[in-house]
Each structure stands twice: as C-alpha cells, then as structure tokens.
Amino acid sequence: MCLGIPGKIIKIYEIEHTKMGRIDFSGVKLDVCLEAIPEAEVDDYVIVHAGFAISRLSEDEANETLSLLKEIEDINLRDNN
C-alpha cells in the first residue's frame, strides 16, 4: 500500500528546468518535485508520495487527513503499549 502525505508549499523554485517546492509537513520541511501539478502555488496544500507532489487539496482536506493519520498513530501507540 502506498501513502501520500499532505503538506503546504512554502517556496517554489526551479532546478535544471524542473519545478520544485519546499513543503512543510507539520514542521518538517522537505524539497519535492512539483512537475505533476504545474498549477501549484505557494500556500497550496499538496499530497506528496515518494518525493513527488501528485495532487492539490484544500486546507480543510489536508487538516482532516492529518487528523486521521494522527488518530491511527495514537491507536497504534496505545495498542503497542
């Protein structure tokens, strides 16, 4: 199973003619390729998988997804203790 994680674009730049972005994942910042969603802009939320932004989503959708992922993490931590 593959999992895409939502993050917020905080910077857009280009490397060797490739659109890239600095993405904030709840405080963790990583650089990812934005070529699959060329319409992406700073402050957009995107789903990232394997270093590539694969789709845009609303802030509400991003927050809902992050909340669900946190719930899963909490259940796993509870069940493993």
pTM score of the predicted model: 0.85
- Backbone φ and ψ of 17, nearest 5°: 65, 20
* The CATH number of the domain covering residues in 5-79: 2.30.30.140
Domain coordinates of the chain in residue numbers? 5-79
Residue 81, H or E segment = none
Return the C-alpha torsion angle 61, 63, 64, 69, nearest 10: 120
Q: How confident is the model at residue 76 (pLDDT cuts 50, 70, 90)?
A: confident
- Looking at 14-18, 51-55, 71-75, which range is the least confident one? 71-75
Mean pLDDT, rounded, for 52-62: 95
